[in-house]
Amino acid sequence: MSQTRKIVINTCFGGFNLSGEALEAYADRKGIPSVDVMHWEIPRDDYDLVAVVEAFGGNMGRGTQLKVVEIPADVRWQVEEYDGSEHIAEVHRTWF
């Protein structure tokens, strides 16, 4: 059986964000004050972030609709976005 990795992305135009309630839940899971959590610094494959999004659902307010995406665990990945709407892309080499 192949292993997978869960990653959180924003699927609508606007940008990745957490609601106040979800941010509090994430901070509680980490055991830190919520004022110390900067949502843009949270790794998208963070286990606690995935758990919060799965528990709260993806609607985090205006301009943010989060989704948990599963990819093969051995894929080197990155989040790519256009006007805040994101997708997961496999990392590949590029030369200029």
Instruction: Kindly report, residue by residue over 4-24, the tens digit of the pLDDT.
Output: 999 999 999 988 999 999 999
Q: What mean pLDDT do residues 78-90 have?
A: 93
pLDDT of 94 > 60? The answer is yes
Contact 30, 23 (CB under 8 A): no
DSSP string, 43-76: -TT-HHHHHHHHHH-SEEETTEEEEEEEEETT--
pLDDT of 30 > 90? The answer is yes
Instruction: Kindly report, residue by residue over 33-82, the tens digit of the pLDDT.
Output: 999 999 999 999 999 999 999 999 988 887 799 999 999 999 999 999 99
DSSP code for 42:
S
Q: What is the total residue count of the chain?
A: 96
pLDDT for residue 54:
97
What is the widest separation between alpha-carbon atoms in the chain?
A: 44
- Band of pLDDT at residue 1, cut at 50, 70 and 90: low
Contact 71, 60 (CB under 8 A): no
Q: Domain boundaries in the chain?
A: 4-90
pLDDT for residue 96:
84
